Structure 1
């Protein structure tokens, strides 16, 4: 999957592309078909999700947690000998299940607009 903004192509010709952190929600996503069986297209182009620039609270918490764990590997070079992964990825894999975030709230239950008795009176 690739996140691209159309103006990036023009800037590449002029010199200097926009940093990935600034592409954000104004870009488009180019993805391979993968497990989307209903599509016959080899490549799918779609809008980038708005959560790139404005994440939900739980997404922000996870990004902070991953960033904190991965930053502990700053300065490490090469791959971790035990896992064969880059050091930041190895630390995240080792920490999996050891940190917890705020428990998500239960989704609100949908209530009917009318009770059964009110519906019977309407007939």
Structure 2
């Protein structure tokens, strides 16, 4: 295989993995946002992975990896919470953009190289 083919495979692999990396980053900031909103309940956990020790709590917060966000505007008292909310919204948009980009690339590859 030539160098161009290897670079193409590496870039496609990174493109396919990038939504999962973005989802993890979004879950991290979403958990930090929830820690700033509900400090008593979540202060003993440093990140979302540490909630895996408590199975019920982990099942409750495992959905943070999905690209949705419920914002508590009335409880955002600090500017840090507002910044974290904006970061979470940005990561959700990046996830959707990345998935859309992957769909466009797959459709264009099928149309260009598919046997119809």
- TM over 0.5, yes or no? no
Higher relative helix content? 2
Length-normalised TM-score, structure 2: 0.30
Question: Higher Cα Rg: structure 1 or 2?
Answer: 1
Q: Which structure has the higher relative contact order (CA within 8 Å, separation 6+)?
A: 2
Higher relative strand content? 1
Length-normalised TM-score, structure 1: 0.29
